[in-house]
Amino acid sequence: MPAKAKNANKTKETRADVAGIVAKVADAGQRADAETLVALLSKLSGEPAKMWGPSIIGFGRYHYKYESGREGEMCRIGFSPRKGATVLYAGCEEGEKAKFLAKLGKVKTGKGCIYIKTLADVDMKVLEALCKASLAHSKKTYPQG
């Protein structure tokens, strides 16, 4: 068996069935939110939903290479319906992101993600604008798909 590449990305696109993963979300409200996000992010990205690793539902893809030499592929935008919150993976320029977060609604944030308890807690127009900005930032930063 070949040795693993140093710093290899563990999150890779899989062939798992997105609809099947969404159907298994235990909380009915969170399952409905996941269905809403699949439709929204598919529309905004122009890409079908794909599974990245066991739990991230992603849209589009890009290749990255850091100064450290680490490189890989990741979805341009995605989310994960985790127990207790849906985690949105959307990145844009920090100043721009802060403006969206100030208007988005009741959310928590991590380094590169936004934790949403329920979509009812957020302004959907602001969420859509944030996702559009995230996709534009990703395409500008990593034009090769």
All domains of the chain in start order, with CATH: 18-141 (3.90.1150)
**Secondary structure letter of residue 106 according to DSSP:** S
Cβ atoms of 65 and 24 closer than 8 Å: no
- 55: amino acid identity, one letter: S
Least confident of 9-13, 57-61, 123-127, 137-141: 9-13
Q: How confident is the model at residue 2, as a pLDDT?
A: 47
Max mean pLDDT range (3-12, 23-32, 62-71): 23-32
Quick check: 1 pLDDT over 60? Answer: no
Cα-only R_g, the chain: 15
For CA atoms 30, 35, 41, 47, give the dihedral sign.
Answer: positive
- CA angle at residue 128 from 126 to 132, to 5 degrees? 115
pLDDT at 3: 46
The pLDDT of residue 133 is above 90 = yes
